[in-house]
Amino acid sequence: MDFELKTLGLDGAAQEKCDALLVLLPEGAKPGADPLSRMATDAIKARSFDTKPGKTLQSWRPQGIAASRVVLAGVGDASPRRIYAAVYSLVASLRNAGVRRLVVCLPAAADGRGVRAAVAAAAEACYVYVSTRSKPEGVEIDRVVIGCADAPAARADFATARAAALGIELARELGNLPPNRATPTRLGEEAKKLAKAAGFRCEVLGPKEVAKAGMGSFMAVAQGSEEPLRFIILNYQGAAASQAPVVLVGKGITFDSGGISIKPAPDMDEMKFDMGGAASVLGTFRALAELKPRINVVGLIPTCENMPSGRAFKPGDVITSLSGQTIEVLNTDAEGRLILCDALTYAARFKPRAVIDIATLTGACVIALGHVRSGLFATDDTLADALLQAGELALDPCWRMPLDEEYGEGLKTHFADVANVGGRAAGSVTAAKFLQRFAGKQPWAHLDIAGTAWKSGAAKGATGRPVGLLVQYLLSQQGEGAAAKAAKPGAKALAKAPVKRAGKAASPAPRKRAGAGSRAASRAG
Ligand code: BES
Ligand code: MN
Ligand code: ZN
């Protein structure tokens, strides 16, 4: 599907030849003398229509209007949220309705944010999963024209929304693929394909290289599966190599059975979505390829299955992470943090200005925030604020959660430096506290997308979140990092072989050792 942006008022919209014309009408707008205004005024007078959100009126080939089908839709205050809702429901209703070319005429008062909302909503409503259907359902809509009062002024917002939509589409498609297709190997191939098409560097490590690097925690999760793990490293360079990159780390569990701490059967199929973080990193790189912002970004994706087997890791096992910290596994279903911790340690070699991990990490986050906002944890207020703001602007919101030292208490154990689970209380926070031990001193944020990465029930499917948030955040960082020079260019670090450490439990990590208890590390951020 293709988008186009055009300067269009109601008079112009009436002359647009298309299969369907969607006219968004705000409360209190002054009607003109054009045919669409007259139609709206008449309908309001006859009480067949009003401009409250959710109200619509359809007509077929009305006089003086070039479109075959016209839909008037009330959008109340014409806020981006209202525009999104109106466009989404109308475009969804026009699927499989013989509409190829669609024109959306925004209220005259709508600005760039309105344009973004319209693009995002139309793209979201047009997506259909086809990969593994033998008789795919069609959508037909192949061109959406967004009409607004001042197209040149909204050009940048339009480009952002269009690129984000492509990234979201990729993330949804990968997320929706069944787990026998979206294997770690496949994700590695998708990353390579993406990098090749866009001209950025990509390296995919297999079991041997990951073992050599010393990622003992990541390897422990993968060892119960027949599918070989992959560690994906993507490198987008849009600024000078001397500029410190933002590192995105995505959880890529392509199927989470829970392992030996196996999950109950109902809805276990949804654990194919446990690679939503990885999909969002790939989707974000898809958008970077379009927008080419002046910033450096590294993407890290540890990806594997979490399966029970005779070779699987077990509750009670003590494993050694890349950082040197030892971890007692008390629950093999808390596997996300075990693959992420090694990736967070790995991230330090890029001397990043910020590290952001994205993970479908805890059911507890779904209990806390539901399916509306992603959970945000951060050791740095500037980073947290930038992510919160990006989420609002992209209509992909998150909410900040705490990281008080006391939340880390439950992770103490006699048998290792840290346990992989605490108690039941504040489960999303203890998970974040675990990760924080491995994030080190670099500004770090963690997005728990367990409630937002996919929908259950009749609308079951990946959402592509938080690609919109991440793209917006990265765009907002252009120029910001010019001062924050990397000691060593991230580019060189990519090609570099393993970190200089022995990889044994007894040997201390190169950067810092957290100490036997969890408190020392809890203070780090
Ligand atoms: N992938 C799950 C988190 C999850 C569960 C997301 C349900 C969405 C819906 C994660 O690996 C997991 O199993 N977490 C456990 C942690 C627990 C064992 C401490 C959870 O949330 O139950
Ligand atoms: Mn799990
Ligand atoms: Zn998981």
Angle at which helices 336-347 and 427-439 cross, to 10° = 30
Question: Strand 374-378 relative to strand 444-448: parallel, antiparallel, unpaired?
Answer: antiparallel
Express each pLDDT in 64-80 by its tens digit: 999 999 999 999 999 99
- 303 close to 253: Cβ distance less than 8 angstroms: yes
Q: Nearest residue CA, atom 5 of ligand 1? A: 363
The β-bridge partners of 353 are: none
Taking the domain 164-481, which CATH number applies?
Answer: 3.40.630.10
Percentage, residues of the chain above pLDDT 70 = 91
CA dist list (Å): 253 to 281, 427, 462: 13, 19, 14
The answer to whether residue 524 scores a pLDDT higher than 90 is: no
Each domain of the chain, given as residue ranges in start order, spans: 2-150, 164-481
By mean pLDDT, which of 62-76, 103-117, 474-488 is the weakest? Answer: 474-488
The rounded radius of gyration (Å) of the Cα atoms in the chain is 25
Q: Is 362 in the pocket of ligand 1 (CB under 6 A)?
A: yes
Percentage, residues of the chain above pLDDT 90 = 88
- What pLDDT does residue 120 have? 98
Q: Nearest residue CA, atom 13 of ligand 1? A: 333
- Ligand 1 test: best mutation among 275, 333, 418, most atoms within 8 Å of CB? 333
Judge whether 500 counts as a catalytic residue: no
Same fold yes or no, 2-150 and 164-481: no
The answer to whether residue 505 scores a pLDDT higher than 70 is: no
- What pLDDT does residue 188 have? 99
- CA dist., res. 117 & res. 24, Å (int): 13
Residue 292 CB neighbour total at 10 angstroms: 12
The answer to whether residue 142 scores a pLDDT higher than 60 is: yes
Q: Which of 172, 251, 337, 373 is an active site residue?
A: 337
- CA dist., res. 21 & res. 87, Å (int): 11
Express each pLDDT in 28-38 by its tens digit: 988 899 999 99
By mean pLDDT, which of 134-143, 329-338, 438-447, 504-513 is the weakest? Answer: 504-513
Q: Which of 192, 263, 455, 512 is an active site residue?
A: 263
Q: Is 417 in the pocket of ligand 1 (CB under 6 A)?
A: no
Q: What is the mean pLDDT of the chain?
A: 92
CATH topology of domain 2-150: Leucine Aminopeptidase, subunit E; domain 1 (3.40.220)
Judge whether 116 counts as a catalytic residue: no
Q: Is 340 in the pocket of ligand 1 (CB under 6 A)?
A: no
What would the 3-class secondary structure string for 213-268 be? HCCHHHHHHHCCCCCCCEEEEEEEECCCCCECCEEEEECEEEEECCCCCCCCCCCH
- What pLDDT does residue 508 have? 36
- CA dist., res. 123 & res. 116, Å (int): 11
- What pLDDT does residue 368 have? 98
CB proximity list for 188: less than 8 A, separation 6 or greater: 204, 230, 232, 303
**Ligand 1 mean position, distance from CA 376 (Å):** 17
Residue 503 CB neighbour total at 10 angstroms: 16
Element (H, E) at 44: helix 35-45
By mean pLDDT, which of 11-20, 437-446, 500-509 is the weakest? Answer: 500-509
Q: Which one, of 294, 195, 196, 293, lies nearest residue 235 by Cα? A: 195
Angle at which helices 151-176 and 467-476 cross, to 10° = 130
Report the predicted TM-score, pTM, of the whole model to 2 decimal places.
Answer: 0.92
The answer to whether residue 405 scores a pLDDT higher than 80 is: yes
Atom of ligand 1 nearest to the CA of 306: 11
- What pLDDT does residue 482 have? 56
- What pLDDT does residue 30 have? 86
Mean pLDDT score, 215-240:
98
